[in-house]
Amino acid sequence: MSSLFFMRSPAYSRLVLTTLCLVASICAAPTVLAQEFHVHALANFKLENGTTLPAAQIHYATYGKLNAQRSNAILLPSHYMADGHGYEWLIGKGKALDPERDFLITTELFGNGRSSSPSNTLEPFHGPRFPVTSIRDNVAAVHDLLVNELGITHLRAVIGFSMGGQQAFQWAVSYPEFADSIVVTAATAKTWPHGIVRLEGQIAAITADPAFNQGDYTEQPVHGLDTFGLVWAGWLFSQQWWREELWRTGAPAGTTLEQAIAGFRHDFIPGADANNLILQMRTWEQHDVGTTPGFDGDLHRALRSIRARVLYMPSATDLYFPIEDAKVEAASIPNLLFKPIPSVWGHTAGAASNPQDAEFLNTQISTFLVVEKKSH
C-alpha cells in the first residue's frame, strides 16, 4: 500500500516521492520504462459468490517482449489501489527484472477505479451494489487474460507485494503447475484476525461519515476519507520508524510531527473513490488460500500443496502482515526460501520504500530467479 500523503508544499511532496513510492502512478521512475497498456474484457464473468458481472474488465500493462518459446513471462499482480506502474522499483537495468530479457505483465485488481470497480460499473452493480470480489476472482480473471488473450500457459514466476503477494500464493494453490516460482513480499496467504480488525477499523472510518450515505453519496465523504488516512498511517510503518523520526527523511527543515500527520490525514490516496477503497479492503480481509475449493478451509493443507519454488519475504516490522503470522505459514510450505526483510520501514519495506530495502529486495529476488532458471 502506498503512503500517498501530501503536504501542500512541493518540497514536502518530495519526501513522499523519494521515500514512499509504492504506487508508481505518482512516482517518477529513475528512467522512463517502455510500457504498453491494455484492457482485457470478460463477458459474463462469474464470481465465486455466484454473482455474474455482464461486462467485467481487467486493466494491465506489459514491459518487454514475449520470446518465441513463450518462456520469459513473469506476472506482477497489483497491490492495494495500485495501477500498472506498481513494480517499477523492481524493473530496469541493474534490477531483478529487465524488460530486455523478461516479458512482464502487471495487472490491476478489481476495485482500483480502472479495472471493474464500484465507481465505473453501471447499475445494477454501481457503487455500494458492486459485489465483493475475492482474490481468487482476481486470479481467475488474470488466468483468462494470460491464456485467452496473451496465449501464455506457463509463467516463469509470479511476484507480488502485499495484496499482490496474496495473489501469488493463490496462484500457487489454484494453478500449481502454472508458475515455476512465486515471490511474496510483505504479505501472507491468509488475512489473520488482527488484520481483519485493522481493515474493519478503516472501513468504519469511511462509513461513519454521514456523507457516505450507505455508499450512495453525491460527493466523496471527505471527513471519512481523512479519518481513514489517519487510521491507516498508524499501521503503515513500525513503531521504531516513528521513534527514529524517519518521517523527516527528505522533508524540508523544520517539518513538525503535526505537519507529517496532517499529510497522512488529508488526501491520503489522491482521487480515490470511497466505495472502491472499501471493496478492496473487503477483498483483502476475506482472503484465505485454505478456502480454495478442495481444501475444506485447511490453510496448511493448501500450503502443503504448493509445487512452485517460493521466496517468502515478510518485513521484520510489518504491522499489516506480522512476521509471526508468516512464520506460522512458512512451516507448511515446501520448496521454501524464507528471507525476512531486515527493515524498520514496516509494511512499506516490501515495496522498496528506501534505498536499503530496494537493494535487499532486488538482490534477493534476482539471485532466487537466477537459481530457478539454472534449475530448468
* Residues β-bridged to residue 53: 45
Is 318 among the residues known to form the active site? yes
3-state class percentages of the chain: helix first, strand second, coil last, to nearest 5:
40, 15, 45
The owner of cell 470497480 is 117
Cell triple for residue 145?
487474460
Q: Which of 331, 300, 285, 302 is closest to 132 using CA atoms?
A: 285
How far lies 330's CA from each of 90, 251, 285, 338, in Å? 24, 38, 20, 7
Exactly one of 318, 343, 353, 357 is catalytic; name it: 318
Identify whether 83 is a catalytic site residue. no
**CA dist list (Å): 182 to 94, 283, 284, 304:** 21, 21, 19, 14
**Is 162 one of the catalytic residues?**
yes
- Which strands form 73-77's sheet, in the order they lie side by side? 36-46, 52-63, 103-107, 73-77, 155-161, 179-185, 309-313, 336-338
Q: Is 295 helix (H, G, I), strand (E, B) or coil?
A: coil
Nearest-CA neighbor of 282 among 163, 186, 175, 173? 163
The residue annotated as part of the active site, out of 40, 85, 347, 353, is 347
The answer to whether the Cα torsion of 39, 40, 42, 47 is positive or negative is negative
- Count of residues for the chain? 376
d(CA 363, CA 309): 17
Place of cell 507448511: 332
The amino acid that residue 117 corresponds to is S
Q: Give the active site residue among 115, 116, 162, 315.
A: 162
Residue 252 CB neighbour total at 10 angstroms = 14
Cell of 147: 491464456
| Coil, strand or helix at 20 | coil
Confirm if 22 and 351 have CB atoms less than 8 A apart: yes
User: Cell numbers at residue 370, please?
Assistant: 537466477
Active-site residues, by number, are 162, 318, 347
